Amino acid sequence: MIRCCANKVLSAPAILGSLLLASTAIAQETAQSIDPAATAWLLMSTALVVFMVVGLALFYGGLVRRKNVLNTMMMSFICLGVVALTWVSFGYSLAYAEGGRIIGGVDNFFLRGIDGSGEGIPGVLDVAFQGAFAIIATALVSGAVVERMRFSAYMIFIALWSVLIYAPLAHWAWGGGLFDDLLGRSAIDFAGGTVVHINAAVSALVLALILGKRRDYGLKAMLPHQIPFALIGAGILWFGWFGFNGGSAYAADSVAGVAFLNTLVAPAATLVVWAMLDMWRTGKVTAVGLATAIVVGLVAITPGAGVMSPMAAIVVGFVAAFPCYMTISWRARSSVDDSLDVFAAHGVGGITGALLTGVLASTAWGASVNGSWGQLATQALAVLISIAFSAVGTLVIVGAVRTLVPLRAPETQEAMGLDVPIHGEEGYTDGEGALLIPVVSSSKAAAVAGNRTRTLGGRV
């Protein structure tokens, strides 16, 4: 990601003021450093990335059982609230304020020093665009723990994760941190292969292993309840990804154009290969398979979207299909209940993409260096560091959450589905048998609700 440093110009008005220049001059100075075209495109891109959360909610929601559809979708939607706030409070500053190689600073906590001024785009827009990335990255984790994690534990987890795991990695890759100098080279992560995908996927896998598998896992068939949701969700993710990758050019320029086309053709290649693999393995092209393939292709092209030719992007999409397909096939028969294959799609896809970027990057297509063995080594080291940090960090955070609330929903709730006991709603209801409670005195409702939750086996 070619981030412009919004913070660095913040001191400019003060200096100018001390030079007794007219206030109009200051206004002009500020206005001139804002690139209107880049700003317009980043505004749009931010909205597109936020919309990916809706796509993810549909994608995940369609793949779970009917009785858990609301819980699953809300695990994505709650990130829009929790992570947006943790991001503006702490995350942005830890990722992008002036700091060392390991972590940013505290100067921008609660957006102190951030305003409409900036270099290229306004500082506030940078916060929003990067915040959307933090939100979608966090929401990705939920796919591994659906149908069993306690919602309160999840809320605490995402608040901690977005600040303590996501923000440092964002600093390493994009905030001038660790990944700027690995083995004498700068690791390329155009739009978030390490920061978003490998990071979320490793955390998801660790969290799934700590939580343990669903009680029905391996004993009963747990089929997707609404495959059209999954297809629509994958389509929305693709649509939003044009902002995710295209916006990461941080300009409305040729790099954005390259990233845009690559975001179209790489998943296209994965889609076709996946269909053929499906055909070879089962004799039929499956809808769930294609929805997954779209996500895999998008993940794989993310680290190199703006640094390679469209033909190279097709190679990335083509190659990524194989390890991801194999991993999903193996995972479904294993005892690892990464329920919606977050690791297979985002981890394996992200690693494949990050490594291939080291080989296929081209200065003719926007990269600062050409692909080489040395760059591949740097990419591999960045991947390994990301994996180690996410895994260890997640272990620590989960340990902390555990001391506050149990991680898993009670067994009876898991059996009947989490929607009714945890959220008090059903995804699909026609109202038959629902009797109005006319006087809603809050204490009375609480009393009835308390009675209910007792029978369902404990607190939500």
| Whole-angstrom distance, CA of residue 364 vs CA of residue 373 | 18
Closer Cβ to other proteins, 66 or 402, answer by number: 66
CB of 269 to other proteins, least distance (A): 37
Closer Cβ to other proteins, 131 or 421, answer by number: 421
| Whole-angstrom distance, CA of residue 135 vs CA of residue 391 | 19
CB of 289 to other proteins, least distance (A): 24
CB of 169 to other proteins, least distance (A): 38
Closer Cβ to other proteins, 22 or 440, answer by number: 440
Closer Cβ to other proteins, 240 or 417, answer by number: 417
Q: Is the dihedral of CA 445, 451, 455, 459 positive or negative?
A: positive
Closer Cβ to other proteins, 24 or 430, answer by number: 430
Q: Which residues, including other chains, have CB under 8 Å from residue 19's CB and lie 6 or more apart?
A: none
Closer Cβ to other proteins, 400 or 416, answer by number: 416
| Burial readout 378-393 (b: 16 or more C-beta within 10 A, e: otherwise) | bbbbbbebbbebbeeb
CB of 418 to other proteins, least distance (A): 12
What does the DSSP 8-state code read for residue 177? S
CB of 209 to other proteins, least distance (A): 25
**Contact set with other proteins (CB under 8 A):** 220-221, 412, 415-416, 420-421, 424-426, 429, 431-437, 440, 445, 448-449, 451-452, 455-456
Of all helices (H) and strands (E), which one includes residue 75? Answer: helix 69-86
| Whole-angstrom distance, CA of residue 386 vs CA of residue 178 | 11
Closer Cβ to other proteins, 214 or 346, answer by number: 214
| Whole-angstrom distance, CA of residue 138 vs CA of residue 116 | 27
Cα-to-chain-centroid distance, residue 401: 21
Tokens 């700003």, residue?
A: 39
| Whole-angstrom distance, CA of residue 244 vs CA of residue 263 | 9
The values of phi and psi at residue 34, to 5°, are -90, 125
The values of phi and psi at residue 120, to 5°, are 90, -70
CB of 455 to other proteins, least distance (A): 5
Closer Cβ to other proteins, 329 or 451, answer by number: 451
CA 189-165-114 angle, 5° bins = 75
CB of 331 to other proteins, least distance (A): 22
